[in-house]
Amino acid sequence: MLLTLTPFVLASLLVVQSNAFTLRSWEDSYTLANAAIAQMTIDEKIGIVTGTGQLNSKRRCVGDTTPVPRLGIPSICFNDGPAGIRLTKGVTGFPSGINTASTFSRRLMRARGKALGEESRGKGIHVFLGPGLDIMRNPKSGRGWESFGPDPYMNGEGAFETITGVQSVGVQACAKHLIANNQEHWRYGLSANVDDRTLNEIYWYPFLRSIEAGVASVMCAYNRFNGTSSCQHAGLLGPKGLLQRDGFKGYVVSDWGATHDSASDNANGGLDMEQPGDYILIGGGLYGSGLKSAVNGGKVTTARLNEMVARILAPWYRLGQDSGYPPVNFDAQRPDGSGDRNLGVSVRSNAHTALAREIASASAVLLKNNRVTTTGTPSGTTIRGLPVAASRIKTIAVVGQDAKMPNLKCNDLNECNDGTMSIGWGSGSNSLEFIIPPIDAITSFVGTSATITSSLSNDLDAGVNAARGKDVAFVFVNAMSGELGFYTFVVGNQGDRNDLDLWWKGGSLVERVAAVCNNTIVIVHSVGPVRMSWQAHPNITGIIYAGAPGEQTGPSIVDVLYGKYNPSGRLPFSISDNEADYGTTIVYNSLGFPEIPYTEKLLLDYRYMESKNIVPRFEFGFGLSYTTFAYSSLSIAASGTSQVIKFTVANAGVFAGTEIPQVYLGYPASAGQPKKVLRGFEEVILGIGATSTVTITLNKRDLRHIAFGTLRASHGFDLREHLRSP
């Protein structure tokens, strides 16, 4: 049985004021759009629905349209990306989508979206090309870090909050990539073959939540879906397709060069705008003169062309971009800042820097912490583990290439990994104009209170020599991935990762350092799960999974290491040493574009592991804290068609901290569902000794097929069992 998905109805369609712009109703926005269309020539309409060209020297943004000055319609500016503005200076390098998911905080998801919108608006960008909603079907998928992990519910919440934040300041969000865009190899033509139930419950769900957030636009993907090019798939885009079935009011824009066959095939299939407008080796260049000929020849009706233009202009009117919107002040073709079209406008702010740092800290997942007091060390009595006892630690080793400053002169796609890894590569990256690496942040924090010895390479012998006999050794290791594109291999990896190993022999570095330092703390910067066969080593007293945390990587990890920020991150995926434990594979080799059957259906990540009784090294939702939490007073009551879950959380430890309770639903075997699925979470911020009553409401859609529910604390036990303890 398919899920019944109810379209979101925007509240009363009233005009409201928000962030110095007028949010119009969809009805009023379409009225304005249609009035403008009535005055347009066919060439002006074609200019609205077609990009101006990838190689156009007049292009200012990643994508542009042709303006209609006599009607006050500018060139609409589209620009990357999901973790911060790309191809310009004076912007913030925010944490990645996967780190935002690690916070399990709707508050921070929305705040990040708002900040991304503010910086986009400040640069004159009309359309923010994000958020990315591509489910992490396989842990090695190249762009999985841009989105919110393998769980559809988490992706849906990330989508809703990000879009709400972006559009709250009058910037259009663009949810991408529709649909089942889950690997980089062969992405330009592979066919993702997905059954209806899996489509609705896994891959469509984040887009449904985007529609409920009022998203302005959706980007169709390069890949084929069940044999048909995504950008002309009427079942996705057409009048009876998924988007319009569930109330989508905005427009569909192609990924860059993702159109094939003919202009009429794409226009009639539901594609409203083609970008970048010309042919770029893989596709594109169909609309331009092709669409005009199709309209004049009767293959595309004038009514359909008008609808395409209306769908594009309505969000522009709705978000108040027709009045007082800043002009474009940068040149994406000159990301170095040169040229007279780069006006040197900075949209960085202290508030955005603080937010980037908070999200990076909040997304750090404490995986292991053996905090003990030892004596007889070179410094006398030492507290091993985390948080680091700064007054007792007098000798420090910082080991690993990942601790040092990266090469900021890499090209705009960040195709390198020669320092600390703050973001993956490709169009979802951000401009690495500014970054504070861990070694600089640690050195600044420690000052003269301790001696630091560093080995900022992954040379095994040098790392051992630096760490031997030290009170603590911080070992920084990483693994990276990114977009396939037309880009080069990065350390032998082409988009998708080749394996789950740490790069630069990082695992061996950890083992060698742990052999000579009994207080080894490992910090992992990674785009996804990595093998941690060394996790149980007795000299490894702490492990922090820090993900891809953005420009404030150094200060944020210092905040966590030294206890200024009590880690509250939770894993947005499971960590296992074996790729087979995830139930999916990346198709690397194929004779032509492959057909990829999604035979795992609903069983991704922890769902698959539960079904096969696989115990991962660390499970989805896992994360430790420096304090302890106690749960009590659990109640579950019906309220109409919803279930209201209430319980009390108390901070029973000696550190202020944040707990992340999570609600999972379980199903009987007859339902054909996974054993359990995530359906709720909250962020509970508690001072020492504080308590809070938490309410989580599950609606009718959340409860579909429910047999029983479990509420669990973030460290993975069943709360019902916990409540039986004294």
- The pLDDT tens digits for 310-347 are 999 999 999 999 999 999 999 999 888 888 899 999 99
Per-residue pLDDT at 455 exceeds 80: yes
Per-residue pLDDT at 503 exceeds 90: yes
351-597 fold: Rossmann fold (3.40.50)
Name the amino acid, one letter, at 127: V
Q: By C-alpha distance, which of 91, 94, 127 is closest to 108? A: 94
Per-residue pLDDT at 14 exceeds 70: no
pLDDT of the residue at 219:
98
- pLDDT per residue over 388-407, tens digit each? 999 999 999 999 999 999 98
pLDDT of the residue at 382:
62
pLDDT of the residue at 668:
79
Instruction: State the greatest distance between any 2 C-alpha atoms of the chain, in Å, as a whole number.
Output: 88
pLDDT of the residue at 669:
79
**Left (φ > 0), alpha (ψ -120 to 50) or beta: where does 705 sit?**
left
What is the architecture, at CATH level 2, of domain 627-723? Answer: Sandwich (2.60)
- The Cα–Cα gap between 252 and 236 comes to 10
Per-residue pLDDT at 245 exceeds 80: yes
Q: By C-alpha distance, which of 325, 329, 327 is closest to 315? A: 325
pLDDT of the residue at 651:
97
Residues 20-43, mean pLDDT to the nearest whole number: 96
Distances in Å between the alpha carbon of 709 and those of 2, 570, 573, 644? 21, 20, 21, 12
- The Cα–Cα gap between 518 and 665 comes to 41
Per-residue pLDDT at 706 exceeds 70: no
Q: By C-alpha distance, which of 8, 50, 141 is closest to 588? A: 141
Active site residue 581: no
pLDDT of the residue at 13:
27
Sheet hosting strand 472-479, strand order edge to edge: 365-369, 540-545, 520-526, 472-479, 395-399, 451-455
Vertex 696: Cα angle to 694 and 702 (nearest 5): 165
Dihedral sign, Cα of residue 222, residue 223, residue 226, residue 228: positive
Confidence of residue 11 (pLDDT cuts 50, 70, 90): very low
Per-residue pLDDT at 408 exceeds 90: no
Domain boundaries, the chain: 32-318, 351-597, 627-723
Higher pLDDT, residue 273 or 20 = 273
Q: 575-590 in b/e burial notation, b at 16+ Cβ within 10 A?
A: bbbebebbbbebeeee
Name the amino acid, one letter, at 42: I
Per-residue pLDDT at 44 exceeds 90: yes
- The Cα–Cα gap between 340 and 329 comes to 10
- pLDDT per residue over 172-213, tens digit each? 999 999 999 999 999 999 999 999 999 999 999 999 999 999
Per-residue pLDDT at 9 exceeds 50: no
- The Cα–Cα gap between 579 and 576 comes to 7
Confidence of residue 412 (pLDDT cuts 50, 70, 90): low
- The Cα–Cα gap between 540 and 74 comes to 58
pLDDT of the residue at 289:
86
DSSP 8-state secondary structure symbol assigned to residue 200: I
Q: By C-alpha distance, which of 572, 483, 436 is closest to 151? A: 572
- pLDDT per residue over 97-139, tens digit each? 999 999 999 999 999 999 999 999 999 999 999 999 999 999 9
Higher pLDDT, residue 676 or 716 = 676
- The Cα–Cα gap between 575 and 22 comes to 46
Per-residue pLDDT at 723 exceeds 50: no
pLDDT of the residue at 56:
86
- Range picked from 46-50, 86-90, 492-496, 638-642 for highest mean pLDDT: 46-50
Backbone angles phi, psi at 127, to 5 degrees: -125, 115
Tell the residue number behind the tokens 């170095």, with chain if given.
336
Confidence of residue 10 (pLDDT cuts 50, 70, 90): very low
Asked if 526 contacts 548 with a C-beta cutoff of 8 angstroms, the reply is yes
Q: What is the mean pLDDT of the chain?
A: 91
Per-residue pLDDT at 6 exceeds 70: no
pLDDT of the residue at 725:
27
Give residue 11's Cα distance to chain centre: 28
pLDDT of the residue at 72:
97
- The Cα–Cα gap between 684 and 694 comes to 8
Name the amino acid, one letter, at 295: V
pLDDT of the residue at 18:
38
Number of other residues whose CB lies within 10 A of the CB of residue 49 = 26
Give residue 329's Cα distance to chain centre: 27
Q: Where are the beta strands (DSSP E) in 194-339?
A: 217-220, 224-225, 228-229, 251-254
Per-residue pLDDT at 7 exceeds 60: no
pLDDT of the residue at 20:
74
- The Cα–Cα gap between 180 and 193 comes to 9
Tell the residue number behind the tokens 């001072």, with chain if given.
687
pLDDT of the residue at 171:
98
Per-residue pLDDT at 718 exceeds 80: no
- The Cα–Cα gap between 149 and 679 comes to 15
pLDDT of the residue at 717:
36
- The Cα–Cα gap between 115 and 349 comes to 10
- H/E segment holding residue 236: helix 234-237
Confidence of residue 383 (pLDDT cuts 50, 70, 90): confident
- The Cα–Cα gap between 302 and 295 comes to 6
Confidence of residue 17 (pLDDT cuts 50, 70, 90): very low
- pLDDT per residue over 468-479, tens digit each? 999 999 999 999
Asked if 176 contacts 133 with a C-beta cutoff of 8 angstroms, the reply is yes
Asked if 709 contacts 636 with a C-beta cutoff of 8 angstroms, the reply is yes
- pLDDT per residue over 642-660, tens digit each? 999 999 999 999 999 999 9
Same fold, 32-318 and 627-723: no
Distances in Å between the alpha carbon of 571 and those of 100, 506, 621, 630, 660? 11, 21, 5, 21, 11
What percentage of the chain has pLDDT greater than the value 70?
Answer: 92
Confidence of residue 380 (pLDDT cuts 50, 70, 90): low
pLDDT of the residue at 411:
56
Sheet hosting strand 78-79, strand order edge to edge: 78-79, 127-128, 172-178, 217-220, 251-254
- The Cα–Cα gap between 544 and 684 comes to 21
Pick the CATH number of 32-318 from 3.20.20.300, 3.30.1490.190, 3.50.50.60, 3.40.50.1700: 3.20.20.300
Per-residue pLDDT at 377 exceeds 80: no
Q: Which of 255, 331, 402, 559 is catalytic?
A: 255
Per-residue pLDDT at 602 exceeds 70: yes
pLDDT of the residue at 452:
98
pLDDT of the residue at 5:
27
